Amino acid sequence: MKKMKKMVSIMTALAVCVVMTIASAVPAFAATPSKENVKYEGKGKVEVEFIGDVQWSSKVKVTVKDSKGHKYKVKITERDDDGIEFVVKKFKRGLKYRFTIKGVKVYGSDKYGTVKGTFKIAKKTKSITAKKAKSIATKDARSGYNVTKIRDLEADKDTYRGTKVWEVSFEGKKSGVWYDYEYQIERSSGKILFSEEERD
């Protein structure tokens, strides 16, 4: 009888050791997803993309604070199997923000985790008006191309080699002949990036 009890004890101890060995051999499956990309899209909208698929808790929550510790109201606008979008209310420009997403996990894992990250909202850059861009172009045409009369003056927003510009076009008369003019004027500075004269 004593031998039987001893045998049972040994078998139990061996079983525990086997279970512990198997458990330690299986890698832990991380519940917290890894961020692939955080993008500020303008007007307070932030997009966070994850590496691989994720699952969301019914009580998912996003909080946002600025570098001074001020907390902002946030509205989740979209979430899918690999990302989330949210909008920060009454944000301030020129600050760095920290966000915390609670209630997300790697697809198939057991527990929901927390993801943290940062984004920055740049200060709004001032830009010249269409009227100012027209004035810059016509003044340059008069002094640089010796234009004496101008007609059909227009200015449209455009991009020139990746820079936001006003594209100013018009017809200008010099020495009794009409020419077509085009200017690319940087919106942020008023600098002339390109000008061209063609015979009408």
Tens of pLDDT, residues 30-75: 578 999 999 999 999 999 999 999 999 999 999 999 999 999 999 9
As to burial, measured by CB atoms within 10 angstroms (0-12 exposed, 13-18 middle, 19+ buried), residue 143 is exposed
Residue among 80, 191, 175 nearest 133 (CA): 191
Q: Cα separation of 76 and 39, whole Å?
A: 15
Q: Which fold has domain 35-121?
A: Immunoglobulin-like (2.60.40)
130-139 exposure pattern, b = at least 16 Cβ within 10 A, e = fewer: beebbbbbbe
Q: pLDDT tens for residues 109-119?
A: 989 999 999 99
Name the percent of the chain lying above pLDDT 90: 78
Q: Is it the case that residue 27 has pLDDT exceeding 60?
A: no
Considering the chain, tell me which residue range(s) the CATH 2.60.40 domain(s) occupy: 35-121
Pick among 3.30.420, 3.30.200, 3.10.450, 2.60.40: CATH of 130-199: 3.10.450
Considering the chain, tell me which residue range(s) the CATH 3.10.450 domain(s) occupy: 130-199
